[in-house]
Amino acid sequence: METLVSTHTTAAAQHPTRNTQDTLVGLGAAELARRIAAGETSSAAVVEAHIARMEAVNPALNAAVVKLYDQARAQAKAADARQGQGLPLGPLHGVPITIKECLDVAGTPSSFGLPSRKDARVAADDVYVARLRAAGAIPLAKTNVAQLLFYYESDNPVYGRTNHPTHPDRSPGGSSGGEAALIASGASPLGLGTDLGGSVRIPSAFCGITGLKATAGRFPDSGRGSVAWGQRAIASQVGVLAPKVADVTLGLRVMEAGRDNAVDPAPALGDPARIDVAGLHVAYFEDDGVFAPAPGARRAVREAAEALRRRGVKVTAWKLPDGRAALDLCGALLFGDNGAGFRALLGKDKAVPQLKDLMALSRLPGGLLALLRSLLGAIGQQGMAENLGIFGQADAAEYWRNVEAQSAHRERFTRALDELPGGPADAILCPPCALPAFTHGASRDLVTAGIYAILFNLLGWPAGVVPFSKVRPDEEIGRATTRDKVGSTARKVEQGSAGLPLGVQIAARPWREDMVLALLAVLEAEGETGPRV
């Protein structure tokens, strides 16, 4: 791990009392901001407690990879002085936060897990980091990522592998896995991540926290270290991860502040407190027809549907239309250049195993890929054959056709919701991922397990995840023994998964983040999440 600044301080500051640490860590940003503003604690005490917690848990996690402790202490001191002078306070005044490594923080690298970029310092903050700073937030560390942000683990040659906060043999997910692991461990009360295909929501689900990706275009990610930036049909969005729905709501509010409506004309965020969930219509599905979910994932959705029904929500079981077509479209759009953008970014850097196969296969001509797909299916490797379906064709005309097909898919999807018995659905409830937290390395085979999340990137709809339950001992095996490599890897992930968090996902129509947040808050109150580590 890389430390950019010295961390010398007094012994008392290095080791705050256990009582202080226990009182302050594990709280969300909203509660910490309230306590600091009320004078119940100081920013210095909050920052010091979170540094102590981070230093206690990070050796096992390897989640905080760029530490900003000295700057954070100086900023906390300045925040307390500002408060002492009676000056106006921002909504995140004095609250420590963490930032995904790919998002720019002035004076630090944004390497995306590439050794060739590990020493390049950026000159200025990302726009959303700057907005959180302007609201009084204090960056404490940058957090680990998947190399090139393109698989559901956080592992790269620059910083190494991040571990799950309660199961070290498993991953916290990716690509925002470092964020999720620290927040779940009480070392951060709020963090920024990015989400192109579930990279905020899947780590949140794996680690038992809350995360949200907004409508496409509300918080666009300007980073240029993952899928070719010119690919705008499925565009990465900056999102928020936090312990509770109230913290995510606060983070989104702050991210929106300072927006130039002439440049960014997205509708203003609605207020979830104004949403009366009684009478809303929610469609739910357990299985997308592409990747069979684990038993616990199915149960969590059923129980979440029942919880919403108890709160007066109209709930309708729904069969997802065209799940396989959605998966194929995602691949065709994201790999429309046959991986040329990835290979250019990678350059001479070594790819981690999770990307190595993708890089090699992306070079194959479309006809050869189709033949290989058929051969894999013929020998019982249907899962691997489906994995190959993510590759598109390096042809601009084909890409335009796929963008048109994406628009048609959105129209069919919306029409199916509009034609539900009982009237149009306002929102959707489903799993965020087919499986609980992956064992290390499993994402190499489980390329399609995250289709439940990436579906809403394809649609451009807002979607969030909240912890709702945990895997039970009798849910550790949900699929039969098989020769299929993808199926056998999924079976191994299920084994030993008892006690892992199970999140549920809520999505709504474009610009209705307020509805997503209101429904997530109901499920948060109804869920059996249990204590965090």
Active-site residues, by number, are: 100, 175, 199
358: β partners? none
Q: What share of the chain is helix, strand, coil (3-state, %, to 5)?
A: 45, 15, 45
316: β partners? 283
147 phi/psi in degrees, rounded to 5: -60, 130
Would you state the structure tokens that stand for residue 273, as one six-digit string?
């407190």
Write the DSSP string, 163-185.
PPSS-TTB---SSSHHHHHHHHT
Q: Count how many residues are written for the chain.
A: 533
Task: Determine whether 342 is exposed, middle or buried from the number of CB atoms within 10 Å of its CB (0-12, 13-18, 19+).
Answer: buried
Of the CA atoms within 13 Å of residue 513, those in its CB half-sphere come to 28
Letter string b/e over residues 19-45, b meaning 16 or more CB atoms within 10 A of that residue's CB: eebebbbbbbbbbbbebbbeeebbbbb
Do 233 and 402 form a contact (C-beta atoms < 8 A)? yes
Pairing of β 501-508 and β 427-430: antiparallel
Would you state the structure tokens that stand for residue 220, as one six-digit string?
């666009």
Do 193 and 209 form a contact (C-beta atoms < 8 A)? no
- Cα distances from 301 to residues 19, 453, 495, 505, in angstroms, run 38, 14, 20, 8
Of the CA atoms within 13 Å of residue 112, those in its CB half-sphere come to 19
SS (H, E, C) 255-322: HHCCCCCCCCCCCCCCCHHHCCCCCCEEEECCCCCCCCCCHHHHHHHHHHHHHHHHCCCEEEECCCCC
